[in-house]
């Protein structure tokens, strides 16, 4: 009898354990914690519209990865400076890598330089009232608060030399002889191309490079004068190869060596005037 009682007690215990696990299984399956891979996939699948709204940027991406912003040219200050309407506000834009001859600004004490008026007329004809795309470099503004930009006439697709020649207005100013190269680090993305474009324009005598240089003046006793570069503050002998390359609007004539030195100019290291 005692053996049967022990067996019955053991059987009851097994039934109770079985019932406990059965009830636990009916309570539902626990939720799995997402893995790192699943989380990363969810981030990648975030809608593009949501990501762009977080940046608040009006930028567009060209096929070559060039970042540009669309703007409308509203006025032209001179050959290399324009005003644009950008994202509902007025912005003054100074073109990177180029320097056009000055137009007259009496209030600023700036006198008009040769070809300055023609450069402004060229820019006005090409850009005024037109939609353009602005590409920025490392430094986006100068000390005057102006935007520094490469001005594209069409949305760039490849960034190749051929496309820069055809579509970028900074390049057109150089190729057509309305500007000289002015490289100001750190904005040097297209500086090598710009030097090449200027050399082509100078060799072909385009624009300001076609202006006849003034004959050098003479000092006392018929002494041959000297030619200074207003941009570099260096003066040369008239027959120096570097004197021949000075753009007309940067040429300054001195009757004597002493006159050039007193004006703050340095002698050329090639011709040693």
Cis ω for the linkage preceding 186 (within 30 of 0): yes
Catalytic-residue membership of 112: no
CA dihedral 89, 94, 187, 268 (to 10 degrees): -160
- Helices (H), ranges, 97-256: 116-127, 161-167, 169-175, 191-203, 241-244
Q: Note if 89 is an active site residue.
A: no
* Structure tokens belonging to residue 72: 């409308």
Contact 148, 141 (CB under 8 A): yes
Q: Which of 267, 250, 112 is nearest to 181 (CA)?
A: 250
Which of 146, 231, 257, 266 is flagged as catalytic?
146
Which tokens in the block code for residue 51? Answer: 């990501």
154 is catalytic: no
Residue 71 in 3-state DSSP?
Answer: strand
Q: Which of 91, 94, 172, 202 is catalytic?
A: 94
Interior/surface letters 114-139, b for 16+ CB within 10 angstroms, e for the rest: bbbbbbbebbbebbeeeebbbbbbee
Q: Which of 102, 172, 202, 237 is catalytic?
A: 102
- Alpha carbon distance 99, 180 (integer Å): 5
Handedness of CA 162, 163, 167, 172 (dihedral sign): negative
| C-alpha span between 138 and 130 (Å, rounded) | 26
Looking at the chain, how many residues does it have? 273
DSSP state of 79: T
Q: Catalytic residue positions?
A: 94, 102, 146
């Amino acid at each position: 009898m005692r053996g049967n009682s022990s067996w019955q007690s053991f059987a009851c215990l097994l039934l109770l354990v079985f019932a406990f696990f059965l009830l636990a299984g009916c309570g539902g399956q626990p939720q799995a914690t997402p893995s790192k891979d699943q989380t990363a996939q969810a981030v990648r699948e975030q809608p593009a519209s949501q990501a762009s709204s977080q940046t608040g940027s009006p930028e567009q991406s060209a096929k070559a990865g060039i970042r540009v912003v669309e703007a409308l040219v509203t006025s032209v200050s001179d050959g290399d400076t324009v005003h644009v309407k950008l994202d509902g506000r007025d912005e003054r834009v100074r073109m990177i890598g180029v320097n056009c001859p000055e137009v007259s600004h009496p209030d600023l004490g700036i006198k008009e330089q040769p070809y300055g008026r023609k450069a402004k007329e060229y820019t006005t004809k090409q850009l005024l009232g037109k939609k353009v795309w602005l590409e920025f470099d490392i430094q986006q503004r100068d000390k005057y608060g102006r935007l520094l930009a490469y001005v594209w006439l069409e949305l760039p697709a490849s960034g190749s030399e051929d496309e820069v020649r055809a579509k970028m207005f900074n390049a057109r100013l150089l190729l057509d002889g309305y500007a000289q190269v002015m490289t100001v680090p750190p904005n040097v993305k297209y500086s090598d191309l710009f030097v090449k474009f200027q050399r082509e324009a100078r060799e072909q005598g385009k624009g300001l490079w076609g202006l006849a240089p003034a004959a050098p003046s003479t000092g006392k006793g018929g002494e041959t004068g000297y030619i200074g570069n207003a941009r570099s503050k260096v003066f040369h002998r008239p027959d120096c190869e570097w004197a021949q390359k000075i753009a007309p609007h940067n040429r300054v004539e001195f009757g004597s060596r002493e006159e050039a030195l007193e004006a703050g100019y340095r002698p050329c290291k090639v011709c040693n005037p």
